[in-house]
Amino acid sequence: MTGILDSFGRSINYLRISATDRCNMRCIYCMPPEGVPQMSHSEILSYEEIRTVAQAAAELGVNKVRLTGGEPLVRAELPKLIKMLSQIDGIQELSLTTNGTLLKNHARKLKQAGLSRVNVSLDTLKEDRFQYIARLGKLKDVLEGIETAKKVGLQPVRVNIVVMRGINDDEILDFARMSYENESHVRFIELMPFKGIAESVPSIEVRQHIGMIGKLEPCPSITGNGPATYYRLAGAKGTIGFISPLTELSFCSRCNRMRLTPDGKLRPCLLGEDEIDLKVPLRNNASMEQLKLLILKAVASKPEHHHLKETNDRPVKRKMSQIGG
């Protein structure tokens, strides 16, 4: 078993790193139309500082790293960071989550730098609806980015859909059919309960709807453990996954991750407000052993589960773009 055991026996082997808080879109569940106040360049971690944190985590047993944002591809010279991380002993998988709008122009360089695969966030296949949900960007660019990523070998490409009642839930079957038609791996995600945005659609309801076109058979993840449960429609080469933080009782029991914010805070739980500052120690020349102790402290403070059920709302001290959900 790899990773660091937390207080509840979970193996924490996955670090999500938010490379930037900036984004070239304004998705309705992530940002207001005007965006959010941006961190200054001096506030965010340098690539060298990110590499140091990843090195310390790897020496403790973390073997998976994912780069997120904001939109990670808006940060200059991102392939440089990917190359730095890919050279760390112990990191077996290096992936990236993107909105896909810039992927077509960057995919080959990302692959050459050492990136393993990508997840692309895409909540609709309709151009007018894309403009409503994302506010900025073009659907055409995202679809071309997905195809380019496949061609250069950033596979499996996963397509992530946040399902919102009355907004895009009528496209569930269109996305599910993608697992037949072009071997896509699609994942339906329950919307976090943000006030005034939309109603979340439970994963069980999505599964039942997909059952209209075929039986979903459970299957293992194609890239190891994580928060999703996976299924396959008979005859499909692609898979269909469900990420169900609101309705799946065992969801948190499988959590294997920590999150590093752009400004160097290590968060044990996406939906909690606890953070451990790594930036100040980094900039005060902390030793590798000191950084490891801080990481172990964060892992030890990881809660058994989130508290969405109790509060019916998530904390709002940071927007999702500032965490790297």
The residue among 239 and 228 whose pLDDT is bigger is 239
Pairing of strands 158-165, 199-200: antiparallel
- What tens digit of pLDDT does each residue of 22-70 get? 999 999 998 888 888 899 999 999 999 999 999 999 999 999 999 999 9
- Cβ–Cβ under 8 Å, residues 172 and 211: no
Residue 76 CB neighbours (<10 A): 9
| Neighbour-count burial for 87-108, b at 16+ CB within 10 Å, e otherwise | ebeebeebbbbbbbbbbbebbb
Pairing of strands 158-165, 257-260: unpaired
What's the confidence (pLDDT) of residue 305? 82
What's the confidence (pLDDT) of residue 61? 97
What's the confidence (pLDDT) of residue 185? 95
Residue 137 CB neighbours (<10 A): 20
Q: What is the 3-state secondary structure (H, E, C) of the chain?
A: CCCEECCCCCEECEEEEECCCCCCCCCCCCCCCCCCCCCCCCCCCCHHHHHHHHHHHHHHCCCEEEEECCCHHHCCCHHHHHHHHHCCCCCCEEEEEECCCCHHHHHHHHHHHCCCEEEEECCCCCHHHHHHHHCCCCHHHHHHHHHHHHHHCCCCCEEEEEEEECCCHHHHHHHHHHHHHCCCEEEEEECCCCCCCCEECCHHHHHHHHCCCCCEEEECCCCCCCCCEEEEECCCCCCEEEECCCCCCCCHHHCCEEEECCCCEEECCCCCCCCEECHHHHHCCCCHHHHHHHHHHHHHCCCCCCCHHHHCCCCCCCCHHHCCC
What is the signed CA dihedral for 75, 79, 81, 83, rounded to 10 degrees? 180
Between 14-18, 164-168, 223-227, 271-275, the lowest mean confidence (pLDDT) is in 223-227
> Checking phi first, is residue 289 left (phi over 0); if not, alpha (psi -120 to 50) or beta?
alpha
**What is the pLDDT averaged over residues 159-182?**
95
The residue among 314 and 71 whose pLDDT is bigger is 71
Tokens of 136: 């900025």
For residues 26 and 34, give the distance between their C-alpha atoms in angstroms, rounded to a whole number. Answer: 8
Looking at the domain 4-322, which fold is it? Answer: TIM Barrel (3.20.20)
For residues 18 and 14, give the distance between their C-alpha atoms in angstroms, rounded to a whole number. Answer: 13
For residues 140 and 160, give the distance between their C-alpha atoms in angstroms, rounded to a whole number. Answer: 17
Percentage of the chain lying above the pLDDT 70 cut: 92
The residue type found at 154 is L
Instruction: Give the pLDDT band (50/70/90) at residue 181.
Output: confident
The residue among 167 and 252 whose pLDDT is bigger is 167
Instruction: Give the pLDDT band (50/70/90) at residue 318.
Output: low
Pairing of strands 14-18, 257-260: parallel
- What tens digit of pLDDT does each residue of 114-155 get? 999 999 999 999 999 999 999 999 999 999 999 999 999 999
Pairing of strands 265-267, 276-277: antiparallel
What's the confidence (pLDDT) of residue 31? 85
Residue of 311, 314, 309, 319 whose CA lies nearest to 194: 314
- What tens digit of pLDDT does each residue of 276-295 get? 999 999 999 999 999 999 99
Instruction: Give the pLDDT band (50/70/90) at residue 224.
Output: low
Does residue 156 carry a pLDDT above 90? yes
What's the confidence (pLDDT) of residue 308? 65
What's the confidence (pLDDT) of residue 322? 58
Between 68-72, 78-82, 108-112, 306-310, the lowest mean confidence (pLDDT) is in 306-310
Q: What value does the mean pLDDT of the chain take?
A: 91
Instruction: Give the pLDDT band (50/70/90) at residue 325.
Output: low
pTM: 0.93
